[in-house]
A = this chain, B = another copy of it.
């Protein structure tokens, strides 16, 4: 399948590499292709320059609009504060009718560390995206864990959970299959409509506290009954 992945950071790369390895045709979208390719140094997180990474990953690079037009299914892996602007550049026409898997978190680093959320409690980024693009079939998922765990849940010991939120039941069912069949998830919990993205996004502060306390990002939540 042709997949469009918006965002060239850790999450976009992890998703793209996994899908490409599984035989899908992936185009990553970025704001400025030349600028993305011009980077020659690792980023502040220590990730290699995009060009170096791309040589091994077998994925195409295009603008946000090109990647959105290319993909039959789209992943929003942009940073949450920039997601709405990136999706506008992607173009509403390129989103309409498509499943848009929203992995972004509205983390605001402008107040220092740890980041706060730029939207929460009475609204969420997932809802903002669904309101801005009412014909896109937005499903919020995978935002509650590290990028490596997203695409390889068996890196952790035992079972653990991923959540889905969205208004379109058929889209959520298809995303659930994608999570299971493409990424290897065993337990997918349907939280409800897109307003439940509030809960999934508001778990980020706890996630960040846990990363500091446990001194690793390699963990995830399991809902024990």
Binding site for B on A (CB under 8 A): 111, 116-117, 120-122, 156-160, 163, 165, 189-192, 196, 198-200, 202-203, 205-210, 212-214, 216, 218-225
Contact = CB atoms under 8 A, between A and B. Distances in A.
B220 A224 contact: yes
B206 A205 contact: no
B221 A216 contact: no
Contacts of A202: 120, 202-203, 205-206
Instruction: Please give the count of copies of this chain that the complex contains.
Output: 2
Given A189-B214, A216-B225, A220-B224, 17 more contacts: A116-B121, A116-B122, A121-B205, A189-B213, A191-B210, A192-B209, A196-B213, A198-B205, A199-B205, A202-B202, A214-B223, A218-B225, A219-B223, A220-B223, A221-B221, A221-B223, A221-B224
A159 B225 CA distance: 10
A120 B212 CA distance: 20
Chain A interface mostly helix, strand, loop or mixed?
A: mixed
